[in-house]
Copies of this chain bind each other. A is one copy, B any other.
Amino acid sequence: MTYCVGMRIDRGLIFMSDTRTNAGLDNISTFSKMRSWSIPGERVIVLLSAGNLATTQSVASLLEERMKAPGDRHPSLFEAPSMFQIARMVGETVKEVIAVSAKGGQNADAFGASFILGGQIKGGQPRLFYIYPEGNFIECSADTPFFQIGEHKYGKPILVRAYKAEMSFEDATKLLLVSFDSTLKANLSVGLPLDMQIYEADSLQLGEKHRFTASDPYYQTVSQSWSIALQSALDQLPPFSFDK
Judge whether B225 and A236 touch: CB under 8 Å.
yes
Q: Which of A27-35, A38-46, A112-120, A175-183 contacts B (4 or more CB under 8 A)?
A: A175-183
Q: How far is the CB of A155 from chain B (nearest CB, A)?
A: 8
Total chain A interface residues with beta-carbon distance under 8 A: 45
Q: Does A234 contact B (CB under 8 A)?
A: yes
Interface residues of A in 177-200 (CB under 8 A from B): 177-178, 182-183, 185-186, 198
Q: How far is the CB of A202 from chain B (nearest CB, A)?
A: 18
- Cα A177 to Cα B233 in complex, Å, equals 14
Q: How far is the CB of A176 from chain B (nearest CB, A)?
A: 9
Q: Which of A72-80, A88-96, A161-169 contacts B (4 or more CB under 8 A)?
A: A161-169
Residue from the list B171, B210, B238 in contact with A239, Cβ < 8 A: B171
Interface residues of A in 215-244 (CB under 8 A from B): 218, 221-222, 225-227, 229-234, 236-242, 244
- Cα A51 to Cα B65 in complex, Å, equals 48
Q: Does A11 contact B (CB under 8 A)?
A: no
Judge whether B240 and A218 touch: CB under 8 Å.
yes
Residue from the list B157, B174, B186 in contact with A182, Cβ < 8 A: B157
- Chain B residues near A208 (CB, 8 Å)? 242
Residue from the list B155, B221, B239 in contact with A173, Cβ < 8 A: B239
Q: Report if A233-B226 is in contact (Cβ < 8 Å); known contacts: A157-B157, A218-B244.
A: yes
Q: Does A66 contact B (CB under 8 A)?
A: no
9 shortest interchain CB distances as A-B pairs:
A153-B153, A170-B239, A173-B240, A229-B233, A157-B182, A233-B233, A229-B236, A170-B240, A161-B227
